[in-house]
Each structure stands twice: as structure tokens, then as C-alpha cells.
Amino acid sequence: MIRDEDIVRVEAPRISAADRLYLTQIAQGMKVTLNHLFFKPRMTVQYPEQKREMNTQNYRGVHRLNRDPDGRVACVACFMCQTACPAHCIHIVADESPWEDREKYPQLFDIDELRCIYCGMCEEACPVDAIELTYEYDVVGRSRDEMIFDKEKLLEVYDSTKDVKPRKNPKITGYQRTGDRGKYDQLRDRLREMTQQSNPISAPHQTVDGERAPAPENKENA
Amino acid sequence: MLLAFTQLGFSSILALVILGIILGMVAYSIYFERKIAGWVQDRYGPNRVGLPTLVGDLLPEKYGKFHFWGLGQPIADGLKFFLKEDIIPSHVDKPLFLIAPCVSLIVALIGFVVIPWGGQVAIFGQVFNVQVANPDIGLLYILGVGSMGVYGVVLGGWASNNKYSVYGAVRATAQMLSYEIPMGVAIMCVVLTCGQVRLEEIMASQVAGWNVWNLFYHPVAFIILWITMFAETNRTPFDLAECEQELVGGFHTEYSAMKFAMFFLAEYAHMITGCAFLAVLFCGGWDPIPFVRIPLFRPEDTGIIAMLAKMAVLFGKVAFFMFMYMWVRWTVPRFRFDQLMRVAWKGLIPASLGVLAVAIAGLYLGLHRTLWFTLPGNVAVVLVSLWVMSRAKDPVSGREANLPPLTRSPELGVQA
């Protein structure tokens, strides 16, 4: 409830006689619009010919399946993305890997791009950074079937976008080590220091990443 | 063959030609309306539908696709209107619902016949008026036909059996009634100045002697007539009959496809006729420059080239006024209905009566065609209205009694 003494009622400013004719103020407005009519730059982006500048690194557009440095599909068919996907749009058929450095690989890898909600959960879930969302947003097809992207199509997307958006972890060689290892090592060391400083006697959080010993730096594939 | 060489034959051909020009202008004024809307808002407006689409497509790839500035847009719009489903809702009064757009369009398209488009023309020694019809009451005819335009709106609104449509129709009627008064009075100034109601004679009196257009005798009457033209054609800031925020679509809410297009065409045809009317009454019609005689544009120049040049000048003026319509539309916001009524009854009508008084005094003194009398008279009308406005109180709302007293605090910018 508003108290009466809180109500501030102000008088509208008195309009001058010339302004009451409307014409002077209309003339002012016309001047403004005339300026926009002929002399102001146009804001429109002429879409198919021009495109807005966007951050290609974090846009969640159509997916791609990354290749490892040898040009093979990087996916290890772990089903993490398929499990994480809230829209159930990823379908993987796993098979035994023909290569020695991993056990499985995807025989089929289909993403229904019409069903996908582009949430990026698959990208988060992937342990080997094999599936990524790209900056391509204008993907079209003539039928629903055409919009189910299979493994080859997803790899093609990688080939066409890798120059603009390189794979997150280009240094990957073996699958024991993924992600930006150096950053995690630094973080782990700092955490260890902090826990030791704050709790030098017991140090219960000593082994933040202690169970998995870091693998050698440059392990080549067989 | 003989018929073609009478005024009747010439008029028939001219009617067809002018009708074609007006319909073309209507189509392209819709295009320019959208263009200007875009430009005012820092957009491009329609620029994709190329005029001869094939040519744009056949150009070599390296030149890119050329769209001809979207000049094909009116064709695409027209096609769209033809191909859309034409819905007649079950609750409407069907005969009236069907008649309304026809009334609107017909009335809008017959107004131009009395406009003198280009003086006189001599073809093989025969002299014709470049005017479809030349009745003695040309001016009254155009006024009558112009106000018939509201019939289509009212019929459409009523037949739609829809509250919003009826509101739109009622608003249009009240607005038309109010704004015809200052319009008529402003036109009376012209009639008194020229002593004629024949548009052709009004035109002739403006190009006689010193080429003084009526605009210079009575500028205030010109501005008043111009403003009422906006109201007569239901254009912003007076488009209360179709304001989207309050009345959905107004009187054409229930109309679709070609019937809606007919209302749309009627509005623009009405505008074009109105612009030509305004140009003839006040701006010297086909006379390009006031106070100067130019060879091709004298009344005694009756060649075909002179006729075409005169028509071009008149259509140029029409184009200018059309541009003003659009420019104002994308600048000025719509009036509230009480403001609309206030503008007419407390603003335009007294002012126009003042100018009429000046014109009558001039006629009485025999000074109705002398600039040194009528111009100061018009200035005096403006000064008097400024003085009255400076003395006038602000409009008071009915809630005033129930409101708390005014807070006069200096920090709020209100003088104590």
C-alpha cells in the first residue's frame, strides 16, 4: 500500500505556444528521420552474402567427429556422448578396433541433427574430445533422412572446419593423456601446495589426482 | 475513327493511360513505402526480388547475383495476394462484406478524372483538354468522391461483424466528418481567390499573369489542407481506423487475400489522387516554377511534347507529396483519439476560419489576388493562434478532482 505522502505528483512541463502548433516539433522529428533516410549507415547484414562475425570457438552449431593426427576417427566408441545426450539423437554401433592403440572404434556413428538440441553435453562428456560442436549454423537438407549425419559426414565436417576451429587438443598422441595436460598438472600442483599449507599435518586431500600417475610425455603410437 | 478525334475519344484514351499510370504508381508507392520504412530504420528495405529475375540470374557468376534493388517486389506482392486463400468468415454479412472493398477501390479510382493533367493539347489542329472530364463542379466532384472513400471503410467494418472492425469504422467516420470541415474551408480560400470551382480554371488562374501559385496567397490554408489530406486518407498520424495496437487490423481485420489488397490499393490510389488535387489547387499543377514563364510550360504551348512535359511535372509533384506522406508516416506517432479531435475542432477549424476571413476580406476589398494583403493576413492568423495557444489552459482530465495536490519541488524541476 502506497502512503499518500509518498505520492509525488508533478506538473507536466508547460509546452510553449509554438510547440503546441505541433508543426515545429514535427519538423524536428522529420529532420531526424531525414538524416536516417539518406545519411546513416545501414545496420542490416545481407545474410547469405555477408555473415556476422561470431566467436567460432564456442558456438554450438553442427557436430563434427575429430580425426586423430593419423587421420583416423578419434572416437573410441565409449558411448559416453550417447548416454549424456538428453535428446537421444546419437546412435553408435561399436566394433573392435582395427588399430592397436585402442580397443573399440565406432562402426556407425549417426547424429540426428533435427533431433539434437545443441546443448553441447556430448562435447562435455567425450573423454577423448572426439565429438565437438562447430560454428556452422546454416545446415540444411531436403529430407529428414538427409539430416541424419553419419560418420563420414561428421568427419567431412571436421575436414571443412578444422582450419577455423582446430581440434581442442592437437598434441594428442596416446589416449592415456587427453586434454590440456600441462594446465591440469599445474592446477594439481597448486592444489597440493594449498592443501599442505592449510593442513600440513594430515593433508587428507593430498592425492587429488594421485591414483593415476601421469604417463610419459611423448608416447608414440605403435 | 471519328470518335477518337472528339474530346470523348481523347478522354477515354487519357482515362486508360492515367489509370495505368496510377495503378503503376500505387504498386511502386507500396514498394517505396517499404523502402522508406527501411531507410528510416537504418535497414535496406526490400532488395531481393529482381525485376527481370531471369536477367539477374543469367549474369555470369563472378558479378554475383544482381537483384535490381528489389524492383520486382510489387509483382511478388501482387502474386502473393492472388494466391492466398480468400477467407470469408461465417459470421459476416456476406453481400456487404463483398461490396465494401469494391466500393473502396472504385471510389478511389474515379477521383482522378477531373484533375487537369496537362493543360490543352492540339493534335492535327484539334484542341483537347488533357482532362478526362471537365464538369463545372470539378472541385465539388472530387470532394464528394473523396469523402465517399469512408463508405468502403464503414461498410467493411460493419459487415465484418467484429467489435474491432466496427470501432475502426466508427473512428474513420468521426475523423472524416471532423476533418472535412477544415478541408472544405481551406478549399474555399482557393475558390475565393480564383473565383472558380472548375479545376481547369483554377489551374489557369495560377499560370496567368505572374504565375503566382495559390500556395503563396494562402500558405496557412495550404498547410491545413495538407494536414487534412493525411486524415482523409487515413494515414499516420491519423490512421486510427486501423491502428494495430488497439484494433487488431481495424476495419480490415477480417479481410484477406485480394479483398484486403483492394483496400490497400484504394488507400494508395486515394493518396495519389489527393496529392494531384493538392498540387493542382495550391502548387500550380503542371507549372514547374512559380513567378517565371518557361517556354514549354505556358498555357499556349499545346504541342504533344509540352503536354508530356506538363504531365511529367504534375506527376513529379505527386511523387514529392507521396514521399512526404511516407516520410511523415515513419516520423510522427499516431494521435490519441481525443487529441485527433482536439486538433480538428480546436486547431484546424478555427485556423481555417481565420484564413477564410482573410480571403473574404480580400475579396470584399478587391485585394484577393494581391500578395501584400493575403500573406500578412495569413501571418496574422498564425500569430493570433499562437497568442490564443499561449493563453490556453492545459487540457484537464476528469480524474483531476481525485488526484493529490501537485508536489512543487525544485529538485524535480518544477518551479515552486
Check whether residue A135 and residue A192 sit in a common domain.
Answer: no
**Residue A157 shares a structural domain with residue A86:** yes
Residues A99 and A132 in one domain: yes
CB contact under 8 A, A21 and B385: yes
Task: Summarize the confidence of residues B326-344 as an average pLDDT.
Answer: 86
Residue A22 within a domain: no
Count the neighbouring beta carbons within 10 Å of the beta carbon of residue A85: 19
The neighbouring-strand residues paired with A73 are: A67
Residue A108, strand partner residues: A93
Other Cβ atoms closer than 10 A to B197? 18
Specify if A101 maps to a domain. yes
Domain boundary among the residues A127, A161, A195 is at A161
- Nearest in space to B296 (alpha carbons), one of B284, B315, B280, B309: B309
Give which of A3, A25, A37, A46 to mutate to test B binding, by max B Cβ within 10 Å: A37
- Domains in chain A, number: 2
Q: Which of A10, A137, A201 is nearest to B403 (CA)?
A: A10
> Is pLDDT at B1 greater than 70 in this prediction?
no
> For A89-132, how does the pLDDT look when each residue is reduced to its tens digit (9 = 90+)?
999 999 988 887 788 889 999 999 999 999 989 988 888 888 98
- Kindly list the residues of chain A whose beta carbon comes within 8 Å of any beta carbon in chain B: 4, 7-14, 16-18, 20-23, 26, 29-30, 32-34, 36-38, 40-44, 46, 49
- Based on the fold, state whether residues A150 and A204 are members of the same structural domain: no
Check whether residue A209 and residue A119 sit in a common domain.
no
User: Is residue B3 scored above 80 in pLDDT?
Assistant: no
Closest CA to B339 of B250, B244, B240, B242: B240
Expressed as residue numbers, the domain containing A115 is: 63-161
Is A49 a member of any domain? no
CB-based contact, B43 to chain A, within 8 Å: yes
Q: Among A207-211, B49-53, B175-179, which is the least confidently predicted range?
A: A207-211
Task: Specify whether A137 is located in the same domain as A192.
Answer: no
Closest CA of chain A from B140, distance in Å: 29
A11-56 pLDDT tens trace: 667 777 777 777 888 888 999 999 988 888 888 888 877 788 888 8
Q: Which grid cell sits at B291?
A: 513567378
Average of per-residue pLDDT values in chain B: 83
Would you call A33 and B385 a contact, using CB atoms and an 8 Å cutoff? no
The pLDDT value recorded for residue B128 is 82
Residues A69 and A117 reside in one and the same domain: yes
Would you tell me how many other CB atoms lie within 10 Å of the CB of residue A131?
Answer: 24
Higher per-residue pLDDT: A189 or B322: B322
**CA triple B118-B267-B187, angle to 5 deg:** 55
Is residue A213 assigned to a domain? yes
Do B327 and A13 lie within an 8 Å CB cutoff? no
Q: Within this chain, do residues A100 and A152 fall inside the same structural domain, yes or no?
A: yes
Sequence-distant (6+) residues with CB within 8 A of A119 are A60, A86, A87
* A42 domain-assigned: no
Which residues make Cβ contacts (< 8 Å) with residue A114, sequence separation at least 6?
Answer: A144, A147, A148
On whether both A122 and A199 belong to a single domain, the answer is no
pLDDT (0 to 100) of residue A85:
92
B414 to chain A: which residues are within 8 Å by CB? 10-11
Is A211 part of any domain? Answer: yes
pLDDT band at B398 (very low <50, low <70, confident <90, very high): low
Pair B297, B309: CB distance under 8 Å: yes
Contact B304, B124 (CB under 8 A): no
Q: Does A85 lie in the same domain as A121?
A: yes
Among A32-46, B260-274, B315-329, B400-414, the range scoring the smallest mean pLDDT is B400-414
**B231 touching A (Cβ < 8 Å):** no
Q: Are residues A151 and A210 located together in one domain of the fold? A: no
- Judge residue B83's burial from the number of C-beta atoms within 10 Å of its C-beta, 0-12 exposed, 13-18 middle, 19 or more buried: exposed
State the best of B34, B41, B63, B406 to mutate against chain A, taking most chain A CBs within 10 Å.
B41
Same domain, A71 and A155: yes
Decide if A109 is inside a domain: yes
| B43/A44 touch (CB, cutoff 8 Å), yes or no | yes
Distance CA B199, CA B119 (A): 11
Contact B407 A8 (CB under 8 A): yes
Q: Chain A neighbours among B 66-125 (CB < 8 Å)? A: none
Q: Is residue A126 part of a domain?
A: yes
